Amino acid sequence: MIDFELSQEQQQWQRKAREFTEKEIKPLSWKIDKGLTQEYHWPLIGKMAEQGLLSMGIPEEYGGSGLDILTMSIVVEELAVGDGGIAFTATGNSLVPLMIAGTEDQKKEFLALTCNKKRPGLAAFALTEPHAGSDAGAVSTTARHEGHEYVLNGEKCFISNGDLARLYTVFATVDKTKGIRGITAFLVPDDVKGLSRGKLEDKMGFHSSHTGVVVLSDVRIPEENRLGQEGEGFKIAMKVLEVLRVVSCGAVGVGIARAAYEAALRFLTTYSNVRAVAGQQAISFDLADMLASIEASRLMVWKSSWMMDNNLSAGTMSSLTKFYASDMALEVANKGMQLVGHYAYREDYPLEKYVRDAKLLQIYEGTNQISRMVASRGILSG
C-alpha cells in the first residue's frame, strides 16, 4: 500500500526545519553568499546542533536525533530552500562512513562530536585527491602499518568542511599494487601532528559550504582508528556515496529548485503589470514544467530514501535520483531567472545564486556522468 501522508514525527521535523530556515538561514544566506559575513559558521552550527539538525541520522543511543533517511531527506529539502550549502552541511554527510562501518567503540567516541550540543563538531569525508576524482580507485595517499600505528601521507582536495572538521575519514592505500583492494578508511582527528589544512576554494557558488585542501605528513594514528578492515575502504566509500547522492544532493536539489520556483512565482503574481503577462502560455507553461519536475524529483528522493531505510538495494535508484534531481535543479533555477528577466540577473535578487549553487550539484558526490554510468551499469546487469 502506498501512502504519501507524512507521519506525525515527519510533519514535526518538516515544520521545525521550515521555521529554522525562515528564522535562521534566510536572513544569513545572502550575506554569506556575498562574503559580507565570515564568522557565521560556528554560531549557526551551534544553533543547528541545539535543534538536533546536525545529528539527524545518528541514533538516539549516541545522542543523535535518530531520524531515518526519508525523514532526513524531508528536512534537508526544507533547509535547502533557505540555503543549499547550509543544508548540505546539516546532512552530517561525513559521519555516514562511521555509521556504516564503525565499531561500537568508534561510534561511542566519534559520533559524540556532532551530538554534543554545547560544543558541536563537524566531520569531513576525505576521498578525493588531485589525481583521483571520478576515478576514486586511484587514491594515492598511503597508510604504512608500523607496530600498532598507521602512518598516513598524502593530499586530499575539494574536501567539504575541510577547514572546519574535527574528524576526517581519510581513504588511503595500504598497498598500491592491490588497486581498490588496498584502499582503507581511517578516522583522523583534526588535532593530530602532521595534519594541515590548506587554502579554501574560491568557488562560483555554495559559499556557505567550506571546501578545502587537507595535507597529511607522517600523521600517526592508532590501529583502533582504522574503519573496517584493510582493503574495505573503497566499498565503504561507495556505500556512503549511495546515501549522499540522495540526501546530500537529491534532496538539496529539490530544495534549491523549490526556492527558485517560489521566487519566480512570487515575482509573477505580485505586480499587476507582470500578472497580466504571467497568464500568457509562454510563461505559465514554464511554471507548470518547473513544478512537474520538482514533484517528480521529490518522489525519486523519497523512493530512494525509503529503499535504503528498508535495506533494499538502492545503488541504481540513488544514482538515477542524483543526476535527475541535480539536472532538474539547475534547469528550474535557470528557467526561474528567465521568467523574472533582468531583475533576476541582479546580485540583490536570489535567483542568480540558485543557478550558481545548483551547478555544483551536477558535480559533487560524483559527477552526473559517473551517476549515469553507475545507473546504466545497474540497468544492464539486471
Q: How many CB atoms lie within 10 A of CB 49?
A: 22
Quick one: CA dihedral 140, 98, 111, 151, positive or negative?
A: negative
Residue 242 binds to ligand COS (criterion: CB under 6 A) = yes
Out of 239, 265, 277, 338, which residue is the one contacting ligand COS (CB under 6 A)? 239
CB closer to ligand COS out of 267 and 323? 323
Q: Which three cell numbers stand for residue 62?
A: 549516541
Nearer to ligand COS, 180 or 274 (CB): 180
Q: Exposure pattern of 8-38 as b/e (b: 16+ CB <10 Å)?
A: eebeebbeebbebbeebbeebbbebbeeeee
163 counts as binding ligand COS under rule CB under 6 A:
no
Report if residue 7 touches ligand COS, rule: CB under 6 A.
no
In one-letter notation, the amino acid at residue 237 is A
212 binds ligand COS (CB under 6 A): no
Complex with ligand COS: residue 20 or 323, whichever CB lies closer: 323
Cα separation, 57 vs 343, in Å, equals: 39
Are the C-beta atoms of 20 and 62 separated by less than 8 Å? no
Query: Given the complex with ligand COS, which of 46 and 137 has the nearer CB atom?
Result: 137
Which of 136, 71, 131, 92 is CA-nearest to residue 308? 71
Task: Give the separation between CA 297 and CA 134, rounded to whole angstroms.
Answer: 24
CA 301 remoteness from chain centre: 13
Residue 99 touches ligand COS, criterion: CB under 6 A: no
Q: Of 234, 302, 323, 324, which lies in the binding site for ligand COS, with binding defined by CB under 6 A?
A: 234
Burial profile 319-352: b = 16 or more Cβ within 10 angstroms, e = fewer: bbbbbbbbbbbbbbbbbbbebbeeebeeeebbbb
* Collapsed DSSP state (helix, strand, coil) of residue 211: strand
Between residue 362 and residue 381, which ones bind ligand COS under the rule CB under 6 A?
364-366, 370, 374
Compute the CA torsion angle 207, 320, 251, 336 (nearest 10 deg). Answer: 70
- Please, which residue, 6 or 100, has the CB nearer to ligand COS? 100
Least CB distance to ligand COS at residue 157 (A): 10
Of the pair 24, 163, the CB lying nearest ligand COS is at 163
Least separation in angstroms between CB 254 and ligand COS: 19
Rounded least distance, CB 207 to ligand COS, Å: 17
Q: In the annotation, is 365 catalytic?
A: yes
Supply the minimum distance, in Å, between the C-beta of residue 52 and ligand COS. 25
Backbone angles phi, psi at 37, to 5 degrees: -140, 130
Q: Kindly determine how many residues on this chain lie close enough to bind ligand COS according to the rule CB under 6 A.
A: 20
Of the pair 32, 139, the CB lying nearest ligand COS is at 139
Of 24, 78, 230, 365, which one is the catalytic site residue?
Answer: 365
Find how far residue 49's CA is from the centre of its chain.
17
Query: Residues 26, 47, 203, 235: which binds ligand COS (CB under 6 A)?
Result: 235
Choose which of 7, 12, 134, 270 interacts with ligand COS (CB under 6 A). 134
As given in the structure block, the three cell numbers for residue 6 are 507524512
Site for ligand COS in 21-60 (CB under 6 A): none
Q: How many CB atoms lie within 10 A of CB 374?
A: 22
Q: CB nearest ligand COS: which residue?
A: 366
| Strand ranges for 223-349 from DSSP E | 226-227
With CB under 6 A as the contact rule, which of the stretches 64-72, 189-197, 215-223, 234-242 interacts with ligand COS? 234-242
Give the residues lining the site for ligand COS (CB under 6 A). 125, 127-128, 134-137, 180, 234-235, 238-239, 241-242, 315, 364-366, 370, 374
User: Which positions are annotated as active-site residues?
Assistant: 365
